[in-house]
Structure 1
Amino acid sequence: MHILVLGAGVVGVTTAWFLRQQGYDVTVVDRQSNAGTETSYANGGQISVSHAEPWANPSAPLKVLKWLARSDAPLLFRPSMDPAQWRWAIAFLRQCTSARAAHNIRQIVRLGTYSRECLQALRKDTGIEYSHLERGILHFYTNPAEFESALEPARIMRELGCDRQVIDADHAVELEPALAPVRHRIAGATYTSEDESGDACQFTQALAKKAQDAGVEFLYQTDILGFENTRDRVLGVNVIRAGKHQTLHADSYVLCLGSFSAILARKLGLFLNIYPAKGYSITVPVKNEEAAFNVSLTDDEFKLVFSRLGDRIRVAGTAELSGYSRELNLARCRAIVRRTAELMPEAGHWEQSEFWAGLRPATPSNVPYIGKSHFGNLYLNTGHGTLGWTHSCGSAAALTDIVAGRKPDVEFAFTGL
């Protein structure tokens, strides 16, 4: 069977890899000149099962209202005339109940735990290098109310097998001495020892090379326009490649185009409630090794994640619901620099920060679409939001099982099943 994978980000490339490992002929199509150069390029770098609390939770509506007037707010909603934005926002509010938030945490933790296991197995089998660290993730809180609100989600995660332990400030500093200068400000923390970090772009490009060596064909610099289809099957994908209009044919198709999946799916009459949440990151060289962290960190109050990537520091976060533009909002970039420099002034050369923005494909629940569409030969692996790197290997392994007619090894609310 020949399968066409649409998208060469971390989700698309892992999908191609797992499909190829099961013997399928695979072609990957992407508009960029290399794999992993859009949303996977400079994300937060965390493999974070512990980052499972969805944005949609009981405290979110009031926070969003409070943040509307702040250009540097952690979650910024910029209202527009786009009907897709409002459909997403209304669905988001419906997910903000305690019961739905708990349900979504369960889905996200199960998929995350399984995905981390799949990544570890892949790393062992291939020897792939991507500046990874296995030192856990430490969530710290400088706001007592934020710490209190984290206790119940952490309890649910522990029940599901994610060992997110609640610890005090002294234990947090013991685990990560770089936090010592702000010890007096830490209200509490949680620590998940099994979580990891690593450079998603390095991983994606290295895995794409291994996939290519294994027989996967990559068609880069190819713009995807739409489909040829019947009422219940996809017949081909219309593209522009080397300036020429072509139709690419396969037996089955997998949609892995991140935020752009929803736009393309609409051409088939298929509604995916995915909206781009623009995220920002800074990447800076380490300044003082003793002052720089090695345990991956999460600042939940400011929605920032910190990863150590060799001699670089990556800090990423915030979400801006403002459409498909990837234009930098410098106020948001500077807010990341300001908060990070305040916490760890000697860790990095903050004045050398490289700014980046990417569109994360968010669903209202933070639960991705993985499974079969109502088109008999079209599969979905998209809508992973901030957790595309965390969920990529597990999503790809599960989708490969679905394509093969097997039940995946993870308990998850798969699409179309």
Structure 2
Amino acid sequence: MSHPSLIERLAILADAAKYDASCASSGTSRRTSKGGKGIGSTEGMGICHAYAPDGRCISLLKILLTNHCVFDCHYCINRKSSNVRRARFTPQEVVDLTLSFYRRNYIEGLFLSSGIIKNSSHTMEQLIEVARILRQENDFRGYIHLKTIPEADPELVRQAGLYADRVSINVELPTVAGLTRLAPDKNAAVIEGAMGDLKSAIVEAKDARRRFRSAPRFAPAGQSTQMIVGADGASDAQIVGRASALYGEYRLRRVYYSAFSPIPDASAVLPLKRPPLIREHRLYQSDWLMRFYGYRPDEVQQAAGADGMLPLDVDPKLAWALKFRESFPVDVNRAPRELLLRVPGLGTRAVGAILASRRHRTLRLDDVAKLTVSLAKVRPFIVTADWRPVLLTDRDDLKALIVPRRSEQLELFAA
């Protein structure tokens, strides 16, 4: 069998990297120009979008160093018992690809992960070598995100942070029981220990930079992690609790959620079908409530049903408001920011605009309508100068009045 060409390996290893949710691809395609020729493509593999520390949306080359792996995680298409086509780059090949795409202005950085070859430390050395060559030998100033391997030597994981803008260690599954059953080669205590070491190194580096301007930067964009949703029996309430604990304990920048996707030659212990995509979306919404809207984890969990699952037909913020109607209506001309943020349909920007506008005039319902895409969702929960929802909040059919019919919802989430 002939050795795959560079472009064939790029196709294999970029496609294999798509299962990591820490960077999301655009997921779009364009029609082919006449004769099959044209400039540019959004199909295929390799390019994802992420956000830099300053908030810019940037394009990254997203690939694996190799999809060979000595681990046998049931949910992973690259596990050692999987019958997939294997490929591998050398560190220099990844460097050359990154620089080539960068010079053509296709990308602004690199997202690099890998299967485990030989052992964890050897693989980590290879990942670090890519970043080292880019930074030291090519003076590369672009964004680098390295997926680090918790089982590797802690000193190697620390070295990764000296070259990468962001580092991440995946907890993989929400519960220890799920990890033990589906990823027998991985250990929850080892993963959390590595995350703790990274947190300490980030804190120490920030402190050193405050005192000494010449101190080296260490993972300035922080660390993140990923949880697979739907591969085990964890409920949304359990996932929310786990994410909150990770944010608090390890000062993570992001927890990413990845809906389990059935894979070829799947293990018998896995579900036969993927969870609805809207479930992943609801978890991201719940994550936003905790990070930007002031909700405690237990409050987000209260939005779930008796089975611990967030409703799929409404967002968790609306679900909470419908459960705790005694907290409403909120007077937009008097209520503090924390209460306005509880109003379904009002985002952080809308609340900021309300607080700024009401300093100069009394707000009416039409003023609020200009700040939201769904006045029907907002109206039952607010009071304005010319509007008060008399008895509306107490109606048994309030949810039906707010939520659009199924045929009107986005097809993506209705799926």
TM-score by length of 1: 0.25
Specify the structure having the higher radius of gyration (Cα): 2
Q: Give 1 or 2: higher strand fraction.
A: 1
- Structure number with higher relative contact order (C-alpha < 8 Å, ≥ 6 residues apart): 1
Q: Which one has a larger percent helix, Structure 1 or Structure 2?
A: 2
